Amino acid sequence: MDLKKITLYIRETDAPLHHQFQLPQSTFDEYFETTKTIPDIKFYYPVSFKDTRAIDTAHMISIPIDIQESVCQGKCLILIVCPQEGFNWNIYSNFVEPIRDKYSFLNKHFVVVSNNTSRSIQYGSVFFNFWEYFSYSTNIIKEIREGQHAVLSKIPRSYKFIALNRRCHAHRMAAFTKLYPYKDQGLLSFAKAGHGELDLAPTFNYYSNQKSKFKEDFPRIHREWISQDLDNAVPLELDKDLDPYDHFSLTTNPINDEHNLKFYQSYLHIVIETTVHNVFFSEKTFKPIKYFQPFVLIGGVGSLKKLKELGYKTFEDYIDEGYDDIIDNQERIEYAVKSAVDFMMQDNLPKILNDMFQILKHNHEILISNSRNTLEKLVSDLNSELK
């Protein structure tokens, strides 16, 4: 594909932009061209937005005079760079608006590149499927061979399901509560760590905050948490031979999990995504696809529909996927877990898995294809916003 590179204005003091996209410099240079002077063509001025903490300092962001002039002349757009996250658009607005108002810009002067699958109605927006791209295997042949053998061999698996919870969000507490009665039949984990030092032992601040949110947002399921005395059941870890990672670490995040036996030994992958408030695909969504597993996806309403738009197939002929259309988060989680339980309690799971093979194979092929084309699509979409 013959693509026009994206031109980015970078100041001497700016951090290398390829770090924000987590790309090697050589790969970044294939698609982007940086300049420290105002170019003759339309270009972007990048501003990094890593997490919601940046909202508090957005009003302090300094944009050079020559960039301000170029924006007002229609030669430059402000590129909000948030490749890993897919926040609700109101969160991006909370970051953009102080910058917009400080410099008397307009909404049309901004483009947000993020992992939010929907389009913004206020700003230009480009979907960068970051976690799909970084789920791409470094050894595809081995991955395909192991995945196909695990399905086609019809060897009985030790576990009916796998559901991993590395961060203790409120909606994960809800899903964990519904799955806990079946913990002896599957691989269920739940960590208490959050995102900062105060979220670790002995304070566990994030866990405490999420417990309050859990009680407020999921009152019916929260009562089940209390009746099962789950405060004393967590953290719940897998055996170290299956999952040796330190889930109390703030940096542990095995995107491409080297210890993949746990996936090949479980029939169903119950994905409990980062959020249920909007459609967002992290590496969690792509793990069952990598490892040739059927899945139930607990995420934002319409998550399965969006996956289909990206080319993937789901398992509606085998699993009740009616949960995907339910607006209420509590009801959607309850329905999704019931669908998972109904599926995994069947007696002939090896045969059912074998019957699913063409879907599993198709999904793995789409993962490879989409990953290979991610950067080309990103550049194409960014070029379209510049026109």
The pLDDT value recorded for residue 125 is 97
Sheet of strand 32-35, all strands in order from the earlier edge strand to the far edge: 32-35, 6-9, 43-48, 76-82, 110-114, 124-127
First to last CA, the chain: 19
Is the residue at 359 inside a domain? yes
Residues 196 and 104 in one domain: no
Residues 121 and 144 in one domain: no
Contact 145, 154 (CB under 8 A): no
Residues 158 and 307 in one domain: yes
Summarize pLDDT for 73-123 with one digit per residue, the tens: 999 999 999 999 999 999 999 999 999 999 999 999 999 999 999 999 999
| Positions in the chain whose pLDDT score sits under 70 | 1-2, 13, 195, 198-199, 246-255
Is the residue at 225 inside a domain? yes
Residues 303 and 234 in one domain: yes
Is the residue at 378 inside a domain? no
Sheet of strand 295-298, all strands in order from the earlier edge strand to the far edge: 187-188, 159-163, 266-272, 295-298
Is the residue at 233 inside a domain? yes
**CA pair distance 73, 52, nearest whole angstrom:** 30
Query: CATH number for the domain including 363?
Result: 3.40.50
DSSP state of 182: G
Is the residue at 28 inside a domain? yes
Angle, CA 154 vertex, CA 153 and CA 157 arms, to 5°: 115
Which residues pair with residue 272 across a beta bridge?
298
Is the residue at 363 inside a domain? yes
The pLDDT value recorded for residue 199 is 66
Domain of residue 280, residue span: 140-371
Is the residue at 120 inside a domain? yes
Write the DSSP string, 285-334. HHHHHHTT--EEEESSTTHHHHHHHTT----TTTS--GGGG--SHHHHHH
Asked whether the whole model's pTM tops 0.85, one would answer yes
Residues 181 and 74 in one domain: no
Contact 309, 328 (CB under 8 A): no
Residues 209 and 154 in one domain: yes
Per DSSP (E only), the strands in 159-227 are 159-163, 187-188
Peptide bond into 98 cis (omega under 30): no
Residues 121 and 161 in one domain: no
Residues 149 and 113 in one domain: no
**Mean per-residue pLDDT over the chain, rounded:** 93
Residues 104 and 156 in one domain: no
Residues 147 and 210 in one domain: yes
Summarize pLDDT for 282-292 with one digit per residue, the tens: 999 999 999 99
Contact 94, 122 (CB under 8 A): no
Residues 82 and 203 in one domain: no
**297: which residues sit within 8 A by CB, 6+ positions away?**
271, 273, 285, 303, 304, 307, 324, 336
Tokens describing residue 106: 């307009």
When divided into structural domains, the chain yields a total of: 2
**CA pair distance 139, 197, nearest whole angstrom:** 35
Is the residue at 92 inside a domain? yes
The pLDDT value recorded for residue 313 is 98
Residues 186 and 305 in one domain: yes
